[in-house]
Structure 1
Amino acid sequence: DIVGMTAMPEAALARELGVEYAMLALSVNWAAGVLPGVISMEEIQAVMRDGQSFLHGVLLRLIKEGAR
């Protein structure tokens, strides 16, 4: 299971206004306590850097092909 920490309040406000809303998310770390050790910002930032090119590609494809 994944816990999203960044989709609110935007999703709730969009729904309230009847605005279509979509989100691309990047899972960057396990929840605190799932794995031993401390979650460091350096580890999170490294995963974010690696995922940026993937998300960039997804966005470019959506722009070129249009959301269907």
Structure 2
Amino acid sequence: MLVNKDRVHSSEEPLKQLLKTKRMTPKRLRTFKGFDTISDCKAEKLIGELEELCKIMFNHIHRRT
């Protein structure tokens, strides 16, 4: 099967950038409006849920390109 090298490279680049991104922390989350009083436990749960949502979205977009 022939693969366009430019397309393979371009689809790998966003994944590399995503993997370099620092993980959200409860302390950083509290800097956003509306989250200043969130507990560590709730913040960790929310961060985990947001990470799962981002993975789903990334995979969906990645498959369409």
Do the structures match in fold with TM over 0.5? no
Larger radius of gyration: 2
Q: Which has the higher contact order (CA 8 A, sep 6+)?
A: 2
TM-score (norm 1): 0.38
Higher helix share: 2
